[in-house]
Amino acid sequence: MSDEFYLKRCLELAALGLGSVNPNPMVGCVIVADGTIIGEGYHQQFGKAHAEPNAVQNVIDRYGNDAENLLKQATAYVNLEPCAHFGKTPPCADLLVKHQLKKVVIGNRDPFDGVDGKGIEKLKNAGIEVISGVLDEECRHFNRRFFTRIEKKRPYIILKWAETANGYFATKDGHQKWISGALAKRLAHQWRTEEDAILIGKQTALMDNPQLTSREFPGKNPVRLVIDKNLQIPLSNNVYNSAAKTIIFNEVKTDVVDNIHYIEMEDMHFYLAQKIAFQLYLMDIQSVIIEGGAHILRQFLEADLWDEARIFTASNSWNEGISSPTINGNLIEQIGIGKDQLSIYISNSNK
């Protein structure tokens, strides 16, 4: 089998950590000897063992006393450069050196300052053959949340909304009216399990009283982020329930009350999108879905602070309403979701 084959298997394994390892990257490791996979592992949870020690342990568990000799003849495949620093776990590069692997094939070099070539250097200095850059673009896209946070000092930002066939986003009189269908709603709840946080503005909270949870799909709830400059959303609103950690960006106070975290910001009418993006970076929030309202979405679009947009277009039309934001991006995919159409765009700056 080719190096690309084993790297793709690494990505399949790494994907099992989606939503559980943030702000770490998703990493899978496959260990091969004489054309046979002898061990596999992936980073399962933040703060716990990385992919490489899990794969090495898998070899030991399967082969017992023969494991050490097999590892000395083996090639390890990993979609991201093995770490070279002591964090919550010991350096993975040191572990591969300890077991004297013959060769290591890497997808991406790690952009984090504590690694960034140092893992590769450790391996080479120990006499291990290293090949890097295999499926580089595919591996980078796979860990786009991680790369965005490290390189741009902000989270990966996903814009999401539903619109009617004739381009309306919400009702003019402020009452709630559902646009997309049940399948689209379930898919949106799946997305919530995959990202760190979900953001709405005050008007969306008042109009829709959303729960912002993943209740229709198994998995974790995202951190709820709410923009409420003057704290006008009543405490009876669903965003104040105990279902998830909730952060309220405001100009009144900084405080913590149970699961509700108030964060005071100055001059929220200036550069709000930029301020929120940087604040989320400082809080180790690696990805966020922005669900509205239209004013908040437009601020992130106008600031060019977005990476991906997911837009459901329904088959029905309204006579009037609030117009949807205008997207200027690169359309990469269109999918039918029940009676709705899902269009996925990426920012032109990400092409």
Of 271, 266, 228, 220, nearest in space to 247 by CA: 228
Of 287, 319, 309, 307, nearest in space to 349 by CA: 307
State the distance between the two ends of the chain, measured CA to CA, in whole angstroms: 31
Instruction: Report helix angle 3-14 to 51-63, nearest 10.
Output: 100
40: annotated active-site residue? no
CB proximity list for 18: less than 8 A, separation 6 or greater: 26, 194
Q: What region does 304 belong to: left with phi over 0, alpha with psi -120 to 50, or beta?
A: left
With 0-12 CB in 10 A as exposed, 13-18 as middle and 19+ as buried, what is 248?
buried
User: Is 178 known to sit in a ligand binding site?
Assistant: yes
What's the longest Cα–Cα distance across the chain? 74
Query: 260-264 and 308-313: which strand pairing?
Result: unpaired
Catalytic residue selected from 4, 12, 52, 137: 52
DSSP code at position 220: P
Cα separation, 296 vs 272, in Å, equals 9
User: Is 208 known to sit in a ligand binding site?
Assistant: yes
User: Is 291 known to sit in a ligand binding site?
Assistant: yes
Of 74, 113, 112, 110, nearest in space to 95 by CA: 74
User: Is 83 known to sit in a ligand binding site?
Assistant: yes
User: Is 99 known to sit in a ligand binding site?
Assistant: no
Cα separation, 290 vs 300, in Å, equals 9
User: Is 162 known to sit in a ligand binding site?
Assistant: yes
Cα separation, 11 vs 25, in Å, equals 11
User: Is 204 known to sit in a ligand binding site?
Assistant: yes
Structure tokens at 339: 């009676």
**What residues are designated binding site for substrate?**
192, 212, 215, 291
**What residues are designated binding site?**
50, 83, 92, 162, 178, 192, 204, 208, 212, 215, 291
**What residues are designated binding site for NADP(+)?**
162, 178, 204, 208
**What residues are designated binding site for Zn(2+)?**
50, 83, 92
**Residues assigned a catalytic role:** 52
